[in-house]
Amino acid sequence: MGNSDGDRHNDDLSAEDSPWSEGSWSDDDDDEGSLSFEDSGDSGEGSDVESDEPDAAAAEESDSSEDEVAPRNTVGDVPLEWYKNEEHIGYDIAGSKIKKRDREGRIEAYLKNADDAKNWRKIYDEYNDEEVQITKEEAKIISRLLKGKTPHANVDPYPDYVDWFEYEGKGHPLSSAPEPKRRFVPSKWEQKKVVKLVRAIRKGWIKFDKPKEEPNFYLLWGDETDTADNKRQGLSYIPAPKPNLPGHEESYNPSVEYIPTQEEIDSYQLMYEEDRPKFIPRRFDCLRSVPAYEKALREGFDRCLDLYLCPRTRKKRINIDPESLKPKLPSKKDLRPYPRTCYLEFKGHNGPVKSLSVESTGQWIASGSSDGTIRVWEVETGRCIKIWNVGGVVHRIAWNPSPDRNILAAVVDHDLLLLNAGVGDEEIQMKTKGLLQIEELAPDEDTGDKKPAVKWVKHEQFNGIMLIHHKLSKKHSHHPFRKLPGLPIAAVFHPIQKMFFVATKKFVQVYDLQKAQIVKKLEPGVRELSSISIHPGGDNVIVGSKDGKLCWFDTDLSTRPYKTLKNHSKDITNVTFHRKYPLFASSSEDCTAYVFHGMVYSDLNQNPLIVPLEILRGHSSSDGRGVLDCKFHPKQPWLFTAGADSVVRLYCD
């Protein structure tokens, strides 16, 4: 290396440039690990020659040169983090594991730096898991890079400008003449053109398109997209749907599971043409053996017809999470108590139990069956207290809602029978007997040829009365409805107001008993109604139908159903509300009874909450019929069900 080269190297590095040492290094101290970065230009040739020889020897011994020494680790382009928890760092060229060496601590590194002056030039090679000592040339390059200079000192970052043009004998490339006046004076011809256009506009020769007047009306419930579509002129371009991409069965060598058997191919011939698969997979040894597709021309022609003739419409899709559409219902544990399990069975009837009724105190329950008997049961023990053999099919049975009048009303065939239940203390029984006594009544007024609607006849066998609106205290009947739009199915009184609900096969009519006129007409929209029940608040009504649908009406909201529930697979036989708990139930001929949570809020702005709770099973089918009636206990969250299997069941929490 010459003197000029040594001067150039020494000019670029000085003692202040070194980030590793506080003092200056000299070439004489190279054996001790020191290096001179002094910025002096008077160094002699001898020092340069002596400094170059150790550098060449260090370069030969250094492992950091990628050209001379190949990397020991041959894992390739694999992240070293994969070997973080392993005992080896990789594999050598022979495939043997390269063990990790123990890393020294900070104290050992500090002592090593104190003992070895060259230790600062060692760096850790994470790829090969070894320490490499850098040479003096590499240290100079690193120092220049840290100062923002070029790595090599012989590169001039600011060379002299080389002019590539020759101007001798060619004059100056840019003119220094002043700007002409025509560049600042308006053009005479442009002025004439503007005057001509203005004259044509004033005389109406040139007409401009008038701005379109926007309509003053707008869509009240529409969005901006609808308005933009209405303003669009002409047909918008809608790209044709792309054909489906071929799958595994279209491969020339598909898997065995894609190839149909001969029986499956023969079964295709029995299908309709539109149901047959359009392509039957086949297997070939190589792609050269695949024949030409015989339906290629036909399918291409059909595709062209689809693109040309088939109309296309743009449908807006709304990306909505299906889970967000589900109503957030409360947990069943928070809605307890409600009937869940069968606690007691009342057995004794020989035919299907068609009707149930629970006494107002909840101590007694009456049941009527098609075997011609009426039975009174004790709820707590399940024993039968009384039995009446009325000699006909008992269709309906009901207790008097007053607790001090234990009277049973039963519909036997075509008659209404009032019976003394014979339960309670002696005082209540005496009141009941006095109420059921009947005498020959003189006609209050001459009715002419009109026949009375009902006859009150004393029943000698059961010490009761056989009898459209009845006044039991005066032994008087009132017939308020002469005409009905259909066959009546069920009728119930309003729990608070003097109103009467009559359910026909198609509608539910609400009558005012004082005014004797129709107040409202509810339209459930089902095939045929079968039962009706009114909420204790009086503003909500549920009806059951013979197509398995249960309709909830909010009479203050609309005459249409607020909710329609389709739970049963067969006819619904009865629906009922609980008097105290927010519960309602439905029974069906599919041998099940459904229990629902139905909370009605006092806030009129809040809709009722309806939650399905439990499916009660246990009754067996008889002649295709299942559960025929269901009633709630007046005080407890219990449900009584009557089945066609002659059993009455009690379900409790």
User: How many C-beta neighbours within 10 Å does residue 369 have?
Assistant: 23
Mean pLDDT of 200-217: 83
- 171: which 2 tokens? 């004059």
pLDDT score of 177:
76
pLDDT score of 368:
92
Domain end, chosen from 412, 430, 451, is at 451
- If asked whether residues 18 and 132 sit together in one domain, one would say yes
- If asked whether residues 566 and 417 sit together in one domain, one would say no
* Domain presence at residue 123: yes
User: At which residue do the structure tokens 């009455």 appear?
Assistant: 648
Q: Is 569 left (phi over 0), alpha (psi -120 to 50) or beta?
A: alpha
- If asked whether residues 384 and 519 sit together in one domain, one would say no
pLDDT greater than 60 at residue 461: no
* Domain presence at residue 306: no
For residues 420 and 249, give the distance between their C-alpha atoms in angstroms, rounded to a whole number: 81
Label the pairing between strands 415-420 and 457-459.
unpaired
pLDDT digits (tens, 9 = 90+) for 368-389: 999 889 999 999 888 898 888 8
Mean pLDDT of 71-86: 79
pLDDT greater than 50 at residue 290: yes
Cα distances (Å, whole numbers) of residue 329 to 326, 335, 437, 609:
9, 11, 54, 9
- If asked whether residues 501 and 622 sit together in one domain, one would say yes
Of 467, 466, 469, nearest to 482 by C-alpha is 469
pLDDT score of 576:
94
Residue 580 structural domain: 480-630+642-653
Q: Which helix (H) or strand (E) holds 284?
A: none
* Domain presence at residue 387: yes
What pTM did the predictor assign?
Answer: 0.51
DSSP notation for 117-165: TTGGGEEEETTTTEEEE--HHHHHHHHHHHTT--SSTT--SSPPP----
pLDDT digits (tens, 9 = 90+) for 547-589: 999 999 998 888 899 999 998 999 999 999 999 999 999 999 9
- If asked whether residues 118 and 57 sit together in one domain, one would say yes
| Percent of the chain topping pLDDT 70 | 77
pLDDT score of 42:
38
Choose between 2 and 483: higher pLDDT: 483
pLDDT score of 218:
66
pLDDT score of 478:
56
- If asked whether residues 428 and 505 sit together in one domain, one would say no
Choose between 523 and 212: higher pLDDT: 523
Domain end, chosen from 256, 285, 314, is at 285
- 279: which 2 tokens? 């392509």
Contacts by 248-252, CB closer than 8 A, 24 or more apart: 249/279, 249/281, 250/279, 250/281, 251/281, 252/283, 252/284, 252/286, 252/287, 252/289, 252/290
* Domain presence at residue 328: no
* Domain presence at residue 235: no
Mean pLDDT of 4-8: 41
* Domain presence at residue 58: yes
- If asked whether residues 525 and 421 sit together in one domain, one would say no
| Percent of the chain topping pLDDT 90 | 25
For residues 280 and 486, give the distance between their C-alpha atoms in angstroms, rounded to a whole number: 60
pLDDT greater than 80 at residue 512: yes
- If asked whether residues 500 and 647 sit together in one domain, one would say yes
pLDDT greater than 50 at residue 489: yes
pLDDT greater than 80 at residue 484: no
Choose between 367 and 20: higher pLDDT: 367
* Domain presence at residue 475: no
Mean pLDDT of 69-92: 78
The number of domains in the chain is 4
- If asked whether residues 485 and 614 sit together in one domain, one would say yes
For residues 138 and 59, give the distance between their C-alpha atoms in angstroms, rounded to a whole number: 9
Mean pLDDT of 16-23: 41
- If asked whether residues 250 and 380 sit together in one domain, one would say no
CATH code, 439? 2.130.10.10
pLDDT greater than 50 at residue 44: no
Phi and psi, residue 183, nearest 5°: -80, -15
Mean pLDDT of 342-351: 90
pLDDT greater than 60 at residue 459: no
Given pLDDT bands bounded at 50, 70 and 90, which one contains residue 627? Answer: very high
Sheet arrangement for strand 627-632: 341-347, 647-652, 639-643, 627-632
First to last CA, the chain: 103
Mean pLDDT of 306-315: 77
- If asked whether residues 520 and 391 sit together in one domain, one would say no
Mean pLDDT of 596-617: 89
Of 501, 530, 529, nearest to 513 by C-alpha is 501
Sign, CA dihedral 364-365-371-373, equals positive
